[in-house]
Amino acid sequence: MSTSSAAEGGGGARAAQLADRLGRLRERVAAAAAAAGRDPGGLTVVVVTKFFPVADVQALAGLGVLDVGESRDQEASAKAAALAAAHPELRWHFVGQLQTNKARSVARYASAVHSVDRVRLARALAAGAAAAGREVDCFVQVDLAAALGGPADPARGGAAGDDVLHVADAVAAAVGLRLAGLMAVAPRGQDPARAFAELAAVAERVRRAHPGAVALSAGMSGDLEAAVAAGATHLRVGSAVLGTRPGAR
Ligand SMILES: *Cc1c(COP(=O)(O)O)cnc(C)c1O
């Protein structure tokens, strides 16, 4: 043990733990791709760092992580600002429910927003992107609980029915926004394979109007294999790398 501070020793142990878990995640993703007969190069892993300190994001950046996910504007903007100089390569993905009045702030630092579920939010993001002179990739979030015939899940967000296409149209029409594709969270207690198959079906319908909207953001720590099998291009993985979230909601 070095004689330096406990914090430094703890940081080293934490970095080693993150490296170990990240390595295992990469193996897991490669195995999922192989099982689905897919090229792992077609998969982007977004490591969701919400509720964890900026030191963890820095350690992950040092391990080659390029894509990080956050779910609250205040936390995300502070982390992005703290790491902008040291890690300009980091791409920030906003994955949580987003209030319209936070859209302008998010458009300043986010490369992608995975949770666009209202036309009004799309317009607010477009205004923010224009003001910042940036382009933001947008995923339209689909409420799979509603799509599978259950009640909509307001806590999770997401558009249902024809609204999915309306939001996609609004994103595609907006200068400063790029329609990447669709995003969803598998509803609790549902078979994720069935949920992601439904997402793929909705995506096929959206692509008839927007052929370039080929990205599919699906799959988290607990269900990424099912998502890869269903054609996910972006996996949003938090706890498998960072551990149980402190004070998780
Ligand atoms: C927190 C979060 C994740 C990561 O979930 P884990 O189960 O920790 O992998 C993925 N997507 C969204 C939308 C999230 O809010």
User: Measuring from atom 7 of ligand 1, which residue has the nearest CA?
Assistant: 221
Which atom belonging to ligand 1 lies closest to the Cα atom of 95?
13
Question: Token pair of 140, please?
Answer: 């339209």
User: Measuring from atom 10 of ligand 1, which residue has the nearest CA?
Assistant: 236
Measured in Å, residue 233 CA sits from the centre of ligand 1 at 15
Question: Token pair of 233, please?
Answer: 């291009």
Which atom belonging to ligand 1 lies closest to the Cα atom of 156?
13
The pLDDT tens digits along the chain (249 residues) read 343 344 445 678 999 999 999 999 999 999 999 999 999 999 999 999 999 999 999 999 999 999 999 999 999 999 999 999 999 999 999 999 999 999 999 999 999 999 999 999 999 999 999 999 999 999 999 999 988 887 777 788 999 999 999 999 999 999 999 999 999 999 998 999 999 999 999 999 999 999 999 999 999 999 999 999 999 999 999 999 999 998 754
Annotated domain spans of the chain: 3-242
DSSP string for residues in the chain: --SS-HHHHHHHHHHHHHHHHHHHHHHHHHHHHHHTT--GGG-EEEEE-TTS-HHHHHHHHHTT--EEEES-HHHHHHHHHHHTTT-TT-EEEE-S---GGGHHHHHHHEEEEEEE--HHHHHHHHHHHHHHT--EEEEEEB-HHHHTTS---TTT--B-TTHHHHHHHHHHHSTTEEEEEEE--PPTTS-HHHHHHHHHHHHHHHHHH-TT--EEE---TTTHHHHHHTT-SEEEE-HHHH-SPTT--
Q: How far, in Å, are 5, 20, 243 from residue 11 at the CA level?
A: 10, 14, 15
CATH of domain 3-242: 3.20.20.10
